[in-house]
Structure 1
Amino acid sequence: MGKDLISIITVNYKNRKITEEFLHSIVKLDRNDLEVIVIDVDPSFDNTQHYRKIFFNVIVIHIEENIGFSAANNLGIDISTGSFLYFTNNDTELTITSIDPLVTFLKNNDVGFISPKIKYYDSKNIIQYAGYTKVNALTGRNTTIGEFCQDEKKEFSKSYETTYIHGAAMMCKKALIEEVGKMPTEYFLYYEELDWSSKSHEVGKKNWYVGAAEIYHKESMSVGKESSLKEYFIIRNRMIFMIKHQKPLKATLFVLYCSCIVIPKRLIILLLKRKPTKFINALINGYFDALKFFIFKKRHIPNRGLKFL
């Protein structure tokens, strides 16, 4: 296999220790075809020298303002020089099969974005992601293929088309960015990769899951911790994504579904759980900000949800 340069792009947000562990996993691979770029978002400290003690030629862009996941990754795209771009969360760890199967697949196939098999770091035989089903046009929900399954079935070791790639680990040819554009910034947090996947479809490229490639993700297998920040961004971005990528009639039906079922149901759940008022405000603000996005796009504030931190 030729030694085409691979640019690994990751974002750190005030979690140097996790990023250091991520860099250690790359060093263990002992490769000379990697360009590693860390977008270090930390208002109080520049971690560059700490990272360089681990990976001496790591490229670090230190920024003090939290500009969002997409915008941070786009900074990495701007300075990358690799033929292949590998976007990985800093809470992942790479293995000997995390890179080559993906590069080989991209070399041999004219596709859009691809993702490896993602497994839980603390339960290394349990799958987190082996592809996604298509999002339901009415509910805005889909299913993660293979989630919580033991990695024993042969089907999860195969490669197959998937509607969406996973934001924790996704690769593409750099040339694809010229066709689909950089990562959409209107979301700030959550749903960026689903939008990017959809843009790939719009230019006639299919997205694929590559089962021969594996990466470990340090995300808990239990339900993620609830937060008012997540409450805001999930409802807002889910609505923006669904309205943006559907025809007017289906988009209208989805908005009605959210208005009449999703929002009232979620409000009842929050009240029964006796969640702080902040959660309810986050949900309502997220809902209305999604609607405002399509009416007053120029006034859209991607990071407005940060007030719910």
Structure 2
Amino acid sequence: MVQIPLLVVIVNYRTADLTIHCLRSLVPEIPTLPGMQVVVVDNASGDGSAEKIAGAIATEGWSDWATLLPSDVNGGFAWGNNLAIRPVLQSPYPAPYYLLLNPDTEVRPHALKTLVTFMEDHPDVGIAGSGIEAGDGTPWRFAFRFPSILSELDDGLRLGIVSRLLARWVVTQAMTDQPQPVDWLPGASMMIRRQVFDTIGLMDEGYFLYYEETDFCLQAKRAGWSCWYVPQSRIMHIAGQSTGVSSHTTPLKRQPQYLFDSRRRYFVKNHGWFYAAIADIVWALGFTVWKCRQTIQRKPDTDPPFMLWDFIRNSVLLSPRRA
């Protein structure tokens, strides 16, 4: 067995056409990293996605570098990535780098090689992520800070003067056009050094969707690995195509149960029940004040339906056994 330089993992759930477009965007990247392999995990889509993707791989002549790995169950984002990564890590010659790539992305020229080169030039960096652009080519220059009680206050309250005072703790962080360290990166294009898995293990499959990459980056940071935003590597990302949660092209839906489950798991796992309870109370109080201001000032309602009620019923205060 020959060591591959990079394993790219794409987890598909009922987005076959987007996944095929993503694979097509990878074709010019293959010669830049000879031996690179791409695994598409189909998370039990049940809509013919697996067959359609397998057919495209065969007819387009991508079989030398792309394979389909069907899952019998939809275990979520971490589950799907781990399904592809685990056997490679356990092989005699595990790949040195692993890229998590969303199916609703298109890779811009040399994006993967740029990340690998950055990792090779910075051996202390455990995780690196691409700069992102929207479907119309507009740059989306953001990465993220770890969630905290103060960030939850800002997210719920949405008051300009408070946001300015809490700027250092706001989760969304504006980026420049230069590489820089960050707390965490979206899993749309996240490259992970093999030694990070050796140190902290695979992604936590207790998360179905959302917060799994946040948690993973936090565990890596606690183990001494840094995380970097590398805008010279670029991808196009159309958010929310599998879930509709963050899509900007369709009306907002009621937030799914797994989002609340993931948020609760993140806070309790990493900060304890008491901290999670304070974070819940702070957000709920802040959001209540915001809704009152919204009504009085006749501001547009841009929140998902039943947001406050769903949040409260999923708080650690009311759902302690599910934390």
Range class of TM-score, shorter chain: 0.7 to 0.9
Structure 2 residue 267 is the aligned partner of structure 1 residue 242: yes
Equivalent in the alignment of 1:202: 222
Gaps of 5+ in 2: 89-93, 156-169, 241-246, 295-299
What is the deviation of 1:179?
Answer: 1.2
Q: Which amino acid aligns with 1:227?
A: K
Equivalent in the alignment of 2:125: 111
What is the deviation of 1:237?
Answer: 2.5
Q: Which runs of 4+ in 1 moved over 6 A?
A: 266-269, 272-276
Cα 1:175/1:290, change in 2 over 3 Å: farther
Equivalent in the alignment of 1:38: 40
Structure 2 residue 157 is the aligned partner of structure 1 residue 131: no
What is the deviation of 1:225?
Answer: 4.1
CA RMSD of aligned residues (A): 3.3
Equivalent in the alignment of 1:150: none
Cα 1:185/1:290, change in 2 over 3 Å: farther
| Superposition map of 1:212-231 within 5 A | 212-219=232-239, 222=248, 225-228=251-254, 230-231=255-256
Cα 1:259/1:20, change in 2 over 3 Å: same
**How far apart are the structure 1 equivalents of 2:118 and 2:267?**
30
Cα 1:247/1:294, change in 2 over 3 Å: same
Structure 2 residue 198 is the aligned partner of structure 1 residue 178: yes
1:82-121 Cα deviation digits (max 9, x unpaired): 2100001011111223112211221232122111111113
Cα 1:222/1:16, change in 2 over 3 Å: closer
What is the deviation of 1:275?
Answer: 9.8
Three-state SS of the structure 1 residue aligned to 2:218 is: helix
What is the deviation of 1:233?
Answer: 3.5
- Identity of paired residues, percent? 20
Three-state SS of the structure 2 residue aligned to 1:28 is: helix
Equivalent in the alignment of 1:49: 55
Cα 1:232/1:247, change in 2 over 3 Å: closer
Equivalent in the alignment of 1:307: none
Cα 1:268/1:88, change in 2 over 3 Å: farther
The answer to whether the Cα contact below 8 Å between 1:240 and 1:290 also exists between their aligned partners in 2 is no
TM-score by length of 1: 0.78
What is the deviation of 1:56?
Answer: 1.6
Equivalent in the alignment of 1:59: 67
Q: Which amino acid aligns with 1:100?
A: K
Cα 1:186/1:265, change in 2 over 3 Å: farther
1:171-227 Cα deviation digits (max 9, x unpaired): 011221121221112221111111111111110112111122111112388477422
Q: Which amino acid aligns with 1:35?
A: Q
Cα 1:66/1:261, change in 2 over 3 Å: same
TM-score by length of 2: 0.74
The answer to whether the Cα contact below 8 Å between 1:235 and 1:287 also exists between their aligned partners in 2 is no
**How far apart are the structure 2 equivalents of 1:275 and 1:145?**
21
Cα 1:9/1:192, change in 2 over 3 Å: same
Of the three residues 262, 271, 285, the one matched with 1:260 is: 285
Q: Which amino acid aligns with 1:232?
A: Q
Three-state SS of the structure 1 residue aligned to 2:150 is: coil
Q: Which amino acid aligns with 1:40?
A: D
Cα 1:255/1:92, change in 2 over 3 Å: same
